[in-house]
């Protein structure tokens, strides 16, 4: 009987810790369990094209500290993939490639979109293990995700540095931090960096409330303020418009209505794209303090993973190898305290882990006197 042969890929946005997780899984799979590993290139597109490379122990050497992913990535959907200008369902092709390559399992590293792809492939008959990756920390059913700790450190350092400029020039500086749907990254780095105001997608803000916090600081002698703004944060009016547009998509009764609703939603999103700059203008007009915006963007995804993410990546990677060895499939390997736990993909896919209104971090921010815009 031949060795167990396993495929691995990285999908979605890049994130610190991807290579560390590939290494964690690969070393355990090859050296401890005696498996063979192939790495599919550029996400699920590599699955569809059967484009892969063999991975041996030497390929895993020296990648623990590297940012990005040695396998490449993409945001394709397995059931709606653009192939030569035509959108096709590639699940059957992927199943055929999986069988042709003699695979016993497929390990997929990625975020929420990857979890949904993993469930689609599991439903198509493949043995799948998903590992939770995202700097946003918004994947359901896991305590944390690899990439989050490093991004928090990067965003915190940026806030630290912006404090000196804000103080020197008596300015309001708004730091836009990644997080479309969930505000974990802005909240964590905002607290760690001592931001005076933190604005999250979960708490639609009032401009008047933000102004009030800044004026209170001014009355106490502070001539500057630092505002950490999640990219998905919106004021109450914009939040209502966005929610109404999303409701049209969710309630569309036919394909034509859904297309029209999605076009409307895209227009609303585009109209709100510069919301942080809009807020900066509003704050400058209301307080008389110069306001500036710093958008951290993709810097938050890059570079060497921190020690916490390397440790998490190694734990999740080796746990995934154990799942394959034990025949535990169609699960996400979740971080649970100091350990791990396999969670059914159906309990993860399509769900978003938001910051709950009673979370301890929010209470910490309030007791520190940090404004939350509500």
pLDDT of residue 105: 98
End-to-end alpha carbon distance in the chain: 63
Q: Looking at the structure, do residues 13 and 140 belong to the same domain, yes or no?
A: yes
pLDDT above 80 for 130: yes
Per the CB < 8 A criterion, the answer to whether 19 and 69 are in contact is yes
Neighbours of 369 (CB within 10 A): 10
pLDDT above 60 for 338: yes
Query: Which range has the worst mean pLDDT, 95-104, 238-247, 337-346?
Result: 238-247
What CATH number does the domain containing 340 carry? 3.40.50.450
Q: Looking at the structure, do residues 94 and 192 belong to the same domain, yes or no?
A: no
136, 138, 196, 235: which is the annotated catalytic residue? Answer: 136
Average pLDDT on 162-167 reads 89
Q: Looking at the structure, do residues 242 and 284 belong to the same domain, yes or no?
A: yes
pLDDT of residue 169: 85
pLDDT of residue 303: 87
Per the CB < 8 A criterion, the answer to whether 360 and 191 are in contact is no
* Residue 301 pLDDT class (50, 70, 90 cuts): confident
pLDDT of residue 1: 54
Q: Looking at the structure, do residues 227 and 283 belong to the same domain, yes or no?
A: yes
On whether residue 57 sits in a domain, the answer given is: yes
d(CA 316, CA 310) in angstroms, rounded, equals 10
Q: Looking at the structure, do residues 191 and 295 belong to the same domain, yes or no?
A: yes
Q: Which two tokens stand for residue 92?
A: 């059957």
Q: How many domains does the chain have?
A: 2
Q: Which residues are within 8 A (CB) of 39 and not within 5 positions of it... i.e. 6 or more apart?
A: 7, 8, 9, 22, 52, 53, 54, 55, 59, 70, 71
On whether residue 290 sits in a domain, the answer given is: yes
Q: Looking at the structure, do residues 258 and 129 belong to the same domain, yes or no?
A: no
On whether residue 106 sits in a domain, the answer given is: yes
The reported pTM is 0.93
Q: Which two tokens stand for residue 370?
A: 């940090």
Q: Looking at the structure, do residues 218 and 363 belong to the same domain, yes or no?
A: yes
Q: Looking at the structure, do residues 259 and 363 belong to the same domain, yes or no?
A: yes
On whether residue 372 sits in a domain, the answer given is: no
How open is the CA angle 239-242-243, to the nearest 5 degrees? Answer: 85
On whether residue 170 sits in a domain, the answer given is: yes
On whether residue 374 sits in a domain, the answer given is: no
Q: Write out the residue range of the structural domain in which residue 264 sits.
A: 151-301+357-367
Q: Looking at the structure, do residues 172 and 246 belong to the same domain, yes or no?
A: yes
Q: Looking at the structure, do residues 336 and 286 belong to the same domain, yes or no?
A: no
Q: Which residues are within 8 A (CB) of 127 and not within 5 positions of it... i.e. 6 or more apart?
A: 104, 105, 106, 324, 329, 330
d(CA 224, CA 149) in angstroms, rounded, equals 28
Give the pLDDT confidence of 302-337 residue by residue, as tens digits: 889 999 999 999 999 999 999 999 999 999 999 999
The answer for 327, left when phi > 0, alpha when psi is -120 to 50, beta otherwise, is left
pLDDT, the chain, mean = 94
Estimate the crossing angle of helix 184-192 against helix 148-169, to 10 degrees.
50
On whether residue 352 sits in a domain, the answer given is: no
**CA-closest candidate to residue 162, choices 96, 88, 253, 225:** 225
Q: Looking at the structure, do residues 317 and 287 belong to the same domain, yes or no?
A: no
* Residue 2 pLDDT class (50, 70, 90 cuts): confident
Give the pLDDT confidence of 52-69 residue by residue, as tens digits: 999 999 999 999 999 999
* Catalytic annotation present for 76: no
On whether residue 89 sits in a domain, the answer given is: yes
Average pLDDT on 119-148 reads 97
Q: Looking at the structure, do residues 127 and 31 belong to the same domain, yes or no?
A: yes
Tell me how far the alpha carbon of residue 15 is from its chain's centroid: 8
**CA-closest candidate to residue 176, choices 269, 309, 292, 305:** 292
What CATH number does the domain containing 200 carry? 3.40.50.460
Give the pLDDT confidence of 57-105 residue by residue, as tens digits: 999 999 999 999 999 999 999 999 998 888 999 999 999 999 999 999 9
């Amino acid at each position: 009987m031949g060795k167990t042969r396993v495929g691995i890929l990285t999908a979605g946005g890049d994130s610190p810790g991807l290579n560390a997780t590939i290494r964690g899984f690969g070393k355990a799979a090859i050296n401890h369990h005696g498996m063979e590993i192939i790495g599919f290139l550029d996400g699920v597109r590599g699955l569809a094209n059967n484009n892969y490379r063999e991975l041996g122990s030497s390929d895993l050497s020296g990648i623990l500290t590297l940012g990005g992913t040695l396998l490449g990535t993409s945001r394709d959907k397995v059931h709606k993939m653009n192939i030569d200008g035509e959108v096709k369902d590639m699940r059957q092709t992927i199943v055929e490639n999986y069988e042709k390559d003699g695979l016993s399992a497929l390990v997929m590293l990625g975020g929420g979109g990857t979890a949904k792809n993993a469930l689609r492939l599991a439903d198509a008959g493949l043995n799948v293990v998903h590992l939770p990756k995202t700097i946003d920390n918004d994947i359901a059913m896991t305590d944390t995700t690899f990439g989050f700790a490093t991004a928090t450190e990067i965003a915190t350092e940026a806030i630290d540095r912006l404090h000196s400029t804000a103080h020197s020039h008596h300015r309001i500086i708004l730091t836009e931090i990644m997080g479309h749907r969930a505000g974990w990254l802005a909240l964590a780095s905002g607290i760690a960096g001592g931001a005076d105001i933190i604005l999250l997608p979960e708490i639609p803000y009032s401009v008047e409330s933000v102004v009030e916090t800044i004026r209170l600081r001014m009355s106490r002698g502070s001539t500057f303020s630092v505002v950490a703004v999640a990219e998905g944060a919106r004021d109450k009016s914009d939040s209502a418009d966005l929610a109404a547009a999303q409701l049209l998509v969710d309630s569309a009764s036919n394909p034509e209505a859904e297309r029209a609703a999605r076009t409307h939603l895209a227009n609303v999103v585009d109209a709100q794209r510069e919301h942080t700059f809009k807020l900066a203008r509003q704050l400058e007009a209301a307080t008389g303090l110069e306001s500036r915006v710093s958008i951290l963007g993709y810097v938050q995804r890059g570079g060497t993973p921190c020690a916490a993410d390397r440790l998490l990546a190694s734990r999740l990677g080796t746990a995934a190898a154990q799942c394959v060895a034990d025949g535990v499939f169609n699960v996400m390997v979740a971080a649970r305290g100091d350990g791990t736990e396999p969670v059914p993909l159906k309990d993860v896919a399509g769900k978003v882990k938001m910051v709950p209104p009673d979370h301890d971090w929010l209470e910490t921010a309030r007791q520190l006197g940090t404004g939350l815009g509500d």
